[in-house]
Amino acid sequence: MIKKQPASLDKNQFLWSIYRPYLAWFIPILAAILYLNTVLHDFVLDDAIVLSKNEFVQKGISGIPDILSKDTFKGFFKKEGKDKLISGGRYRPLTLVVFAVLFEIFGNSAFVFHLFMVIAYSALCWLIYKLLSEILKDYPSGENLAIVASLLFAVHPVHTESVANIKGLDEVFALGFSLLSYYLIVLYLKQNRISFMIGSVLSFLIALFSKENAIVYLALIPIYLLFIRKPASQKSWYALGGLACAALFFILVRSYVLNWSFSSSAGTELMNNSFLKWNNGSYVEFSFIEKLGTISFTLWKYFALIFFPYPLTHDYYPRHIGIYSFHDVKSILGLVITFALFVFGVFNIRKNPWYSFAAFAYLLPLILVSNLFFPVGTNMGERFLFMPSFGIILLISFYLIPLLSQFKVLQYVFIGVLLLFSIMTVMRNPAWKNDFTLFSTDVKTSTNSAKINNAMGGILIEGLHLETDSSELRRKANTAIRYLDKAIEIHPLYYDAIVLKANAYYYLKDFPTAVKLYQSVLAQKPGDESANKNLPLALREYGRDLGMNQHNPVVAKDILLQAYKINPSDIETIMLLGIAEGSTNNNEAALKYFDEAIQINPENAQAHFNKNIALLNLGRKLEAEQALMRAKELDPQILSKNGIQ
């Protein structure tokens, strides 16, 4: 039964009443305008995983079979097993299929993908208005409620991560097609057209194949069918059966593709398991109270972000979210509010099922990503609030409408809030311009996050090989080291950060420190790809510096032999070993190394020239002349390059 509102709820009491015929278009246009300043942005953050560096998406349409048959992360990580870093795997192929089609037509045009995101979000806001207008027709002031809820959703700043980041299409599609499925069921019950029911099932499938959390609408839509639209008809049961079949089909396909993996273990790496703490030189699991207290704190944080969406950040990794127990009032509030909303939803299921629907539309998708039952790899994320925000905004709107009607001044306040949220959204968007802008902006908010400090250090190092200004190179490298030291302080076993720190010292030409850092990583993690790749390079350059700048060929030879042992096919190392041997009058050994270099690359003019020097030192003048002729043949400038006029 619908709870009657006060008779004073006259539709003409609202400031926007005379504009109501235009609002169906104003709302999506407003949503689009707010995000227009993102269309010139680059690919950023997780766009690499699902788009710009995903080998299946980059194949275009020909990559679709792989997208449909493999873990969503497989096309990015490529190597077997790396796509399983996140517990339980990820299977969200639909948005990757869309990306592949767009890539086939437009290539890697970030403009096109961002424009598509703006259109998709605008369409979602239009759909929310249309759905609420339809299902609230019989609710007192239902049209105004639809306007208030749709406007609040459209302008809310917490949605910036899901719209400004192209990867967020999975969130937009999951919510959008879930609500479209809901809308089509409403039309099916109203018009009795089987095409609407088929469309509803297909829409729900699209939502599920976009992101798994759409499955909560299998519980939410029945609230409408069984408690709001009473009594439940046979058609209602048909509709529910269709949605249940769609959900079962998705679960079976997902399970098959991911090899029936249902693991709930979060692993022992802090960046994949937020509920670890450093204790006596190793990581141990949170206590039950600490885990529950920290989860409760994030539930409070989610709730608070709806009302006070500032400051925003993309990074809530450890320890931006710290370790909490129930000594913290915010943890208590998080648990109390969540439990109160649950009780509120249960007790209103018959008395006022609309309130129950709104409460559960917030709670159910939020609980799925809260870490309470399933590990999600991080403490929280603003993108995780995208789907739940629809429910809480709807619930807020139910309570706002009577107040706005009775106190006209509050309508001006409401418009002021819409304006403020709009400005906050537009001002937040530029942070998503590119990785550097995002990291350098959000590191000021997430100061205690190991991940963003590591990311900031990494992006500062990224372009150092192109830096020609030595003072600028030193400045960037030293700044990167400060961020990386912070990351390692937070996460002592952050091997990615230690490798990046070693890279920074490499660019500073502090090769001994770089070598020690690479070796420290390999001592604990022998299979680390970056450390294995970079260590012989650092050893080589260390040896070069010892021999050529510090004039210590004996020690240089020992260091170079370490590099040679790791990578015996590196010509530069082999050549330097030859030079070191020659510098200590071991000309036979030097000749052996130069011949080895020539065997690897017969077209290397410098190797032939060095062979000439070794042969001369051995008194083999005829062979030396032949080596020199070959060097000149390969590079006519070889003499001048070696300081010979």
| The predicted structure's pLDDT at residue 424 | 97
Residue 11 near residue 104 (C-beta atoms within 8 A): no
Sketch the domain layout of the chain as residue ranges. Answer: 23-429, 569-645
Place of tokens 């560096």: 53
DSSP 305-355: HHH---S--S---TTTS----TTSHHHHHHHHHHHHHHHHHHHHHHH-HHH
Question: 583-636, pLDDT tens digit by residue?
Answer: 999 999 999 999 999 999 999 999 999 999 999 999 999 998 999 999 889 989
Whole-angstrom CA distances from 257 to 91, 143, 215 are 8, 44, 18
pTM of the model: 0.90
Q: From CA 534, how far away is CA 503, in angstroms rounded?
A: 8
Question: 177-199, pLDDT tens digit by residue?
Answer: 999 999 999 999 888 889 999 99
DSSP 555-575: HHHHHHHHHHHH-TT-HHHHH
Q: From CA 645, how far away is CA 36, in angstroms rounded?
A: 62
Question: 566-583, pLDDT tens digit by residue?
Answer: 999 999 999 999 999 999
Is the model's pLDDT at 82 over the cut of 70?
A: no
Is the model's pLDDT at 230 over the cut of 80?
A: no
> Superfamily for 569-645?
Tetratricopeptide repeat domain (1.25.40.10)
Question: 493-537, pLDDT tens digit by residue?
Answer: 999 999 999 999 999 999 999 999 999 999 999 999 999 999 999
User: CA 246, 389, 366, 53 torsion: positive or negative?
Assistant: positive
| The predicted structure's pLDDT at residue 431 | 97
Q: pLDDT over 90 for what percent of the chain?
A: 75
Question: 377-415, pLDDT tens digit by residue?
Answer: 899 999 999 999 999 999 999 999 999 988 889 999 999
**How would residue 224 be classed by pLDDT, with cut points 50, 70 and 90?**
confident
Sorted by sequence, the CB contacts under 8 Å of residue 407 that are 6+ apart come out as none
